[in-house]
Amino acid sequence: MSIFNSMQINASGLTLERFKLDTVSTNIANVNTTRTADGEGPYIKQTVEFEEALKRMSGGLNGERAARSAGVRITGLEADPGNVRIVFEPNHPDADEDGYVVYPNVDMADEMVDMMTAIRTYDANVTAINSSKDMLKRALEIGRQG
């Protein structure tokens, strides 16, 4: 594994965490959305799905093919329709015939924890990239002295 591979892995982590932050902010923005643009009920919380990105490499003396990590990749967004809040508000424009309104399943405390986790992970990836850059810089300085 070269030092550039580590930077690529960290860069994929940065992309993932930015996408997670975008998703969290969308969830927070729609915490009280009782009717979506298509009129199909309340906003449903979104979560980011991802997996390890593997790169097939051939190497060694016998030409064996092996899978090496290339970071992470986003596989999509998943909607979780469970745990919606049902509140009795007969005067609300989106109330059903019994006076109940269905609110999104977005919990602000959970969203804040997800946001803080994404920010910390983003910071860790930035620190790792900066460390890799410092190592490259020092290697170049050593090469110049020799």
Domain positions in the chain are 3-31+46-79+107-145
Task: Return the residue matching tokens 């990836």.
Answer: 125
What proportion of the chain, given as a percentage, has pLDDT over 70?
A: 92
Tell me, what's the pLDDT at 139? 85
Between 17 and 71, residue with greater pLDDT: 17
Alpha-carbon distance of 58 to 64, in angstroms, equals 5
For residue 9, the tally of other CB atoms under 10 A from its CB is: 20
Instruction: Give me 21's structure tokens.
Output: 């932050």
Between 135 and 66, residue with greater pLDDT: 135
Residue 53 pLDDT more than 80?
yes
CB 84 within 8 A of CB 103: yes
Mean pLDDT of the region 13-32: 96
Q: pLDDT band at 27, cuts 50/70/90?
A: very high
CB 50 within 8 A of CB 77: no
Residue 58 pLDDT more than 80?
no
CB 42 within 8 A of CB 104: yes
Task: Return the residue matching tokens 């580590």.
Answer: 6
Residue 20 pLDDT more than 90?
yes
